């Protein structure tokens, strides 16, 4: 059965959203897309289901006395024993030890087993935990079930679903997202990078986009969400007299966003409490963190005139009146924390500060050591952007990539102060390069643009809209052990073979020409993989001998390839790389006799030795 709709899903760190568009006939690829948002039914209070345009990405695991019997039932599931969405967020403020949050950030954390029960993080004894993978699957499952309840004539599983991920997600995190979608009952799934989705939403809203930009323009997409900060660059190019869009750069994975800002705000409030003689412990700080998130959103929502919002957390004992601690989050707190800590004035040559690492560390999310978003942006424009193929990136005399336009996306950018500070820094840099000011593209609905853009992209894939030329956001390499003689006390030297180039498109494959390597079959062998967001000129077959910090190693994969009836052997093989239609990467090892072995991501990982492939 052919799908009737394309469904775009923004699986966010803090909020998720769903948009959709009907697949219609007609030959005009630029006809209005008619993308619509779906209001998502969810528990707002015990026993009260309410439709909202966002699904907060929070999951609450109730204790036996948390809710009256039957009060967390949903219209499609009377026996539901956990809570997703608005009520989960509200109840988690009162009992942080049972609240699952930031599952998306954990899903991208290569230092832990993301399929193991880790969440709620720091949950007390007796609370049953779930994995970041399972938490993500439950958010997606709620969206699927909500759709099926609202659209019974068009079952979700029969539609084309597009799920967004940060542009900086590596291949393991992408595969984990796909696995979460499969667990949630999705069938026809495609992944799309969030900054691209935001730009597609801008195109969908502005049918005259070709009149707003011109050949040679360079568009910077700044996406600051609840958990990550993403930078992408899209070049406007000419192809036989037609304007086309080419995604030319993607930044590194930066775990820096609304979560960090909320924690900094909680710190400001706790300092004010301490000055008055009230000190809070680590568990209360966790609750204050969540309360500050809600208070910040109220203060920054459009039209708000309030100068402060109350925040309340439970006290540690019965000595406090009412057993609670009351405080306020002030608008001036937000402006100071954002302006001084996250958006300071920076030089275009600045790079993020590196924190001196302590030998023993608490297991947790690997947040960026430097919270200054402006310094991360300076490094991106200075170091992460390279010319490639037919695209020459617009640059200043110093080599800095110089955008002509900026498109903002993400909940953090709802605050005018954030947009203004980023523009101020960009325009100072442009003036130093002798370039004109950066123009802000007309704003989208920052909370829904990614979902709307994903739905539009679903139509574009069917020839009903404009597509951005993009492909793989990083270059991928496989480790090759050197054949040099061994030296006592030194490991064998490792080289990196380029197997997937930056920009390789979905649905394409590439053979590695003129090279053969020995593949161990019939016994366990370890494969090591690397990736780079910096090296964009490497082509399949290039051997990198001294890569140092240019390449980032993914977790290794231990695989046993069957040798058939033969004993373990080393088989000469060549490589073929495939990028599937869903955007996933595969590497085939092809023997001279026609035998083929496939390396692909296996989400059932082990810490320090998880499956991974490119």
Confidence of residue 268 (pLDDT cuts 50, 70, 90): very high
pLDDT at 581: 67
How many residues belong to the chain? 614
Confidence band (pLDDT; 50, 70, 90) for 243? confident
Q: For residue 349, give both structure tokens.
A: 């040559």
Residue 31 reports pLDDT greater than 70: no
- Quote the CATH superfamily of domain 5-191: ATPase, nucleotide binding domain (3.30.420.40)
pLDDT per position as a tens digit, 447-484: 899 999 999 999 998 888 888 887 787 888 988 887 65
Residue 433: half-sphere exposure toward Cβ, Cα within 13 Å: 26
DSSP state of 338: I
Nearest to 459 by CA among 16, 34, 1: 34
Q: Where in the chain is the domain with CATH 3.90.640.10?
A: 258-342
Tokens of 381: 């424009």
Residue, of 384 and 10, whose pLDDT is higher: 10
Distance CA 365, CA 608 (A): 16
- Angle, helices 282-300 vs 258-275, to 10°: value is 110
Task: Report the pLDDT value the prediction gives residue 440, as an integer from 0 to 100.
Answer: 95
Higher pLDDT: 248 or 84? It is 84
Q: Which residue has the tokens 């300076």?
A: 378
User: In which residue ranges of the chain is CATH 3.30.420.40 found?
Assistant: 5-191, 211-251+369-441
Per the CB < 8 A criterion, the answer to whether 531 and 571 are in contact is: no
- Which DSSP symbol is given to 401? B
CA distance 467 to 223: 19
Q: Is 579 exposed, middle or buried (0-12, 13-18, 19+ CB in 10 A)?
A: buried
**Cis peptide upstream of residue 120 (ω within 30 degrees of 0):** yes
Share of the chain above pLDDT 90, in %: 48
Helix ranges (DSSP H) in 165-315 = 171-183, 194-205, 209-212, 258-275, 282-300
pLDDT score for 484: 54
The model's pTM? 0.82
Chain-wide mean pLDDT for the chain?
Answer: 86
State residue 608's pLDDT score.
36
Domain 211-251+369-441, what architecture? 2-Layer Sandwich (3.30)
Please tell me which residue, 581 or 73, carries the higher pLDDT value.
Answer: 73
pLDDT tens sequence across 315-361: 765 444 446 888 999 999 999 999 889 999 999 999 998 765 444 44
Report d(CA 287, CA 278) in Å as an integer.
Answer: 15
Is the pLDDT assigned to residue 371 strictly greater than 60?
Answer: yes
In CATH terms, 258-342 corresponds, of 3.90.640.10, 3.40.50.1820, 3.40.50.170, 3.40.47.10, to: 3.90.640.10
Q: Band the pLDDT of 52: cuts 50, 70, 90.
A: very high
Closest to 426 in 3D by CA, of 479, 480, 475, 378? 378
Position 574 pLDDT exceeds 80: yes
Edge-to-edge, what's the strand order for the sheet holding 552-553?
543-544, 494-500, 475-481, 529-532, 552-553
Summarised one tens digit per residue, pLDDT across range 82-106 is: 999 999 999 988 888 899 999 999 9
What is the mean predicted confidence (pLDDT) over 564-580?
83
Average pLDDT of 280-292? 84
Q: Which two tokens stand for residue 603?
A: 């989400």
pLDDT confidence tier of residue 492, bands split at 50, 70 and 90: low
pLDDT for 536: 81
**What b/e readout covers 216-229, taking b as 16+ CB neighbours within 10 angstroms?**
ebbbbbbbbbbbbb
Of 33-47, 56-70, 306-320, 417-431, least confident by mean pLDDT is: 306-320
Strands 569-579 and 557-560: unpaired
Pairing status of strand 160-165 against strand 5-10: parallel
Mean pLDDT of 380-392: 77
Q: Which pLDDT belongs to residue 361?
A: 44
Pairing verdict, β 524-527 and 557-560: antiparallel
What's the whole-number mean pLDDT along residues 46-65?
95
Average pLDDT over residues 526-553: 84
- The 10s digit of each residue's pLDDT in 406-426 is 999 988 888 888 999 999 999
Intra-chain end-to-end CA distance of the chain, in Å: 33
């Amino acid at each position: 059965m052919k799908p009737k709709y394309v469904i775009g899903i923004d699986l966010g760190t803090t909020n998720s959203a769903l948009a959709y568009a009907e697949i219609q006939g007609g030959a005009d690829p630029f006809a209005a897309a008619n993308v619509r948002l779906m209001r998502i039914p969810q528990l707002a209070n015990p026993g009260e289901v309410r439709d909202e345009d966002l699904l907060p990405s929070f999951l609450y695991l109730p204790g036996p006395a948390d809710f009256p019997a039957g009060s967390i039932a949903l219209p499609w599931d009377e026996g539901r024993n956990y809570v997703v969405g608005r009520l989960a967020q509200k109840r988690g403020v009162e009992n942080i030890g049972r609240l699952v949050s930031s599952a998306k950030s954990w899903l991208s954390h290569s230092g832990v087993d993301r399929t193991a029960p880790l969440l709620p993080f720091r949950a007390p004894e007796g609370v049953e935990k779930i994995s970041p993978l399972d938490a993500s699957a439950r958010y997606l499952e709620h969206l699927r079930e909500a759709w099926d309840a609202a659209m019974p004539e068009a079952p979700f599983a029969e539609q084309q679903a597009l799920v967004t991920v940060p542009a900086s997600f590596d291949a393991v995190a992408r595969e984990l997202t796909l696995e979460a979608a499969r667990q949630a009952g999705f069938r026809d799934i495609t992944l799309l990078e969030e900054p691209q989705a935001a730009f597609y939403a801008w195109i969908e809203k502005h049918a005259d986009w070709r009149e707003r930009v011109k050949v040679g323009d360079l568009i910077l997409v700044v996406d600051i969400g609840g958990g990550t900060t993403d930078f992408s660059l899209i070049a406007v190019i000419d192809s036989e007299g037609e304007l086309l869009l080419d995604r030319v750069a993607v930044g590194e994975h930066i775990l820096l966003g609304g979560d960090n800002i909320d924690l900094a705000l909680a710190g400001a409030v706790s300092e004010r409490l301490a000055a008055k003689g009230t000190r809070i412990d680590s568990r209360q700080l966790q609750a204050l963190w969540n309360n500050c998130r809600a208070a910040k959103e109220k203060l920054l929502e459009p039209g708000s005139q309030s100068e402060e919002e109350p925040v309340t957390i439970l006290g540690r004992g019965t000595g406090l009146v009412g057993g609670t601690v009351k405080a306020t989050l002030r608008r001036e707190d937000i402006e100071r924390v954002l302006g001084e800590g996250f958006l300071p004035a920076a030089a275009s040559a600045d790079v993020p500060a590196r924190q001196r690492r302590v030998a023993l560390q608490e297991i947790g999310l690997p947040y960026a050591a430097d919270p200054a978003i402006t310094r991360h942006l300076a490094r991106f424009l200075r170091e992460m952007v390279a010319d490639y193929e037919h695209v020459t990136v617009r640059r200043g005399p110093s080599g800095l990539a110089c955008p002509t336009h900026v498109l903002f996306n993400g909940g953090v950018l709802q605050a005018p102060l954030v947009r203004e500070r980023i523009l101020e820094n960009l325009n100072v840099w442009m003036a130093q390069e002798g370039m004109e000011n950066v123009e802000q593209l007309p704003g989208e609905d920052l909370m829904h643009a990614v979902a709307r853009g994903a739905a539009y992209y679903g139509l574009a894939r069917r020839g009903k809209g404009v597509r951005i030329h993009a492909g793989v956001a990083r270059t991928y390499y496989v480790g090759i052990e050197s054949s040099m003689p061994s030296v006592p006390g030194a490991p064998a030297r490792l080289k990196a073979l380029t197997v997937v180039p930056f920009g390789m498109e979905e649905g394409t494959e590439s053979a590695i020409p003129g090279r053969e390597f020995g593949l161990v079959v019939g016994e366990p062998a370890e494969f090591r993989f690397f990736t780079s967001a910096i090296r964009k000129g490497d082509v399949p077959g290039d051997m990198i001998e001294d890569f140092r910090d240019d390449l980032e190693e993914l977790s290794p994969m231990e695989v046993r390839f069957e040798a058939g009836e033969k004993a373990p052997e080393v088989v000469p093989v060549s490589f073929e790389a495939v990028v599937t239609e869903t955007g996933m990467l595969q590497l085939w090892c092809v023997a001279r006799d026609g035998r083929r072995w496939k390396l692909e991501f296996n989400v059932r990982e082990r810490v320090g030795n998880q499956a991974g492939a490119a």
